[in-house]
């Protein structure tokens, strides 16, 4: 480079003439950063800021993805759930699950209070708020509404029987009424026209079917036993008018020990089918489709009694005498098992 003032030769990396000290007017530009010594900026600063904006925008979206989708929006960036989004119940080892949704499976036969407890355990809503919602929410649009409201004051849990057992996905801290609504809508869908027609053919309302199905659920240990258990109860209702089902005795509790001590000795369930005629005022649990099917399609039998052994094998009988012989068989099986257990422990 030649100094334009004195004509001296100037090295390329110098910006002042070593001969006369004049500042050169064509300094070398650092093209990567777009910066010119002396504070001047060239046009490639646009490239620099464009790159910066793109990076900020990209990583901003990545942060949103990680926060709202557990890592799935940008799985290559990692995150607590980057292997695939799916809400799950808290792990068995107590690890905290911080996903926005949770998937919960409710098995057949759970009572409303048990469903409420599971919802609270999985941080969907509090158990009390869920029960309160089921006791007060508007159900006018549902097919079973009229039957439920007709004797609502006699029911311990207003919507017991209609909280259909299934696998659901909920938001954390969801509105309890919306949680219940998902279950009720599922029931409406599962209670098909075919099932309703079969109920009508037996002169049963949907509410009566659900109540009977709930008793079948608690009394039958296996799905294949349900139609036979159902036949026993249909026969009893037809001939004697009483179900005489043990699981109704203490409802809404499952055993005497669960009843609050201050009322334990005087408590009498409104659902006790040893005392009341016909079906209880409502369901005693939330039955699944198999039990509902069995309630409207029982086996044709003359059975009035049944009992099961320690292996859940069922023994059905037509007469009381035959039933007593079955009870003796079961007691013998139980005694033998006890003796074998004692001998193995010696």
Instruction: List pLDDT tens digits, range 36-45.
Output: 333 434 444 5
Q: What is the pLDDT of residue 21?
A: 57
Mean pLDDT of the region 281-297: 98
* Confidence at residue 51, expressed as pLDDT on a 0 to 100 scale: 54
Q: What is the pLDDT of residue 98?
A: 72
The predicted pLDDT at position 49 comes to 60
Mean pLDDT along residues 303-322:
93
- In this prediction, residues 268-277 reach a mean pLDDT of 96
- At residue 344, the pLDDT reads 64
Q: Where are the beta strands (DSSP E) in 108-158?
A: none
Over range 150-172, report the average pLDDT: 96
Model confidence band, residue 34 (pLDDT cutoffs 50, 70, 90): very low
Out of 38-42, 149-153, 245-249, 308-312, pick the least confident: 38-42
Tell me the torsion sign for CA atoms 253, 257, 262, 267. Answer: positive
Give mean pLDDT, residues 173-185.
97
Look at residue 53 in the predicted model and tell me its pLDDT: 63
Q: Residue 116 pLDDT more than 70?
A: yes
Asked whether 230 and 216 are in contact (CB, 8 A), the reply is yes
Within its chain, how far is the Cα of 212 from the centroid?
24
Written as six digits, the tokens of 109 are 């036969």
- pTM beyond 0.75, yes or no: no
pLDDT given at position 57: 57
At residue 28, the pLDDT reads 34
Which carries the bigger pLDDT value, residue 4 or residue 120? Answer: 120
List C-alpha distances in Å: 175 to 103, 132, 137, 180.
Answer: 16, 12, 12, 9
Q: Tens digits of per-residue pLDDT, 56-109?
A: 455 554 444 433 344 443 333 333 333 332 333 443 333 456 789 999 999 999
* Integer Cα distance of 73 and 100 in angstroms: 14
Name the nearest CA neighbour of 27 among 6, 42, 7: 42
Higher pLDDT, 205 or 56: 205
Give dist(CA 300, CA 21) in Å, integer: 116
Longest alpha-carbon distance in the chain: 132
What size, in residues, is the chain?
Answer: 346
Q: What is the pLDDT of residue 92?
A: 34
Q: What angle is formed at CA 261 by the lines to CA 255 and CA 262, rounded to 5 degrees? A: 130
pLDDT score of 140: 95
Q: Which residue has the higher pLDDT, 309 or 92?
A: 309
Q: Supply the mean pLDDT for the chain.
A: 81
Report d(CA 156, CA 181) in Å as an integer: 19
Of 11 and 97, which is predicted with more confidence?
97
Residue 214 has pLDDT above 80, yes or no: yes
What is the mean pLDDT of the segment spanning 222-249?
A: 95
Domain boundaries, the chain: 45-74, 101-190, 207-344
> Over 70: is that where the pLDDT of 32 sits?
no
pLDDT above 90 (res 123) = yes
Please give the pLDDT value at position 138: 96
Q: What are the backbone angles phi and psi of residue 295, rounded to the nearest 5°? A: -65, -35
């Amino acid at each position: 480079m030649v100094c334009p003032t004195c004509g001296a030769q100037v090295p390329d990396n110098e910006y002042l003439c070593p001969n006369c000290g004049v500042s050169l007017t064509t300094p070398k530009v650092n093209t990567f950063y777009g910066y010119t010594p002396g504070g001047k900026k060239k046009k490639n600063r646009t490239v620099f800021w464009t790159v910066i904006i793109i990076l900020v925008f990209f990583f901003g979206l990545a942060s949103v993805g990680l926060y709202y989708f557990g890592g799935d929006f940008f799985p290559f960036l990692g995150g607590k759930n980057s292997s695939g989004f799916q809400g799950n119940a808290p792990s068995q080892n107590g690890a905290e699950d911080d996903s926005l949704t949770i998937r919960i499976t409710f098995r057949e036969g759970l009572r409303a209070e048990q469903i409420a407890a599971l919802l609270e355990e999985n941080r969907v809503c509090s158990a009390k708020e869920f029960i309160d919602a089921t006791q007060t929410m508007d159900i006018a649009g549902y097919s079973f509404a009229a039957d439920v409201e007709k004797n609502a004051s006699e029911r311990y849990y207003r919507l017991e029987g209609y909280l259909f057992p299934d696998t659901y996905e909920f938001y954390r801290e969801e509105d309890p009424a919306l949680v219940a609504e998902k279950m009720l809508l599922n029931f409406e869908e599962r209670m098909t026209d075919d099932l309703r027609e079969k109920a009508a053919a037996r002169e049963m309302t949907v509410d009566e079917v659900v109540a009977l199905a709930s008793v079948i659920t608690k009394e039958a240990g296996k799905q294949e036993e349900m139609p036979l258990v159902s036949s026993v109860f249909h026969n009893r209702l037809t001939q004697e008018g009483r179900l005489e089902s043990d699981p109704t005795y203490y409802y809404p509790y499952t055993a005497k020990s669960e009843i609050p001590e201050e009322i334990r000795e005087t408590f009498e369930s409104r659902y006790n089918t040893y005392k009341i005629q016909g079906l209880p005022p409502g369901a005693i649990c939330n039955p699944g489709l198999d039990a509902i099917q069995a309630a409207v399609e029982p086996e044709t039998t003359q059975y009035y009694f049944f009992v099961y052994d320690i292996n859940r094998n069922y023994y059905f009988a037509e007469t009381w005498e035959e039933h007593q012989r079955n009870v003796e068989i079961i007691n013998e099986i139980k005694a033998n098992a006890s003796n074998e257990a004692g001998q193995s422990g010696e």
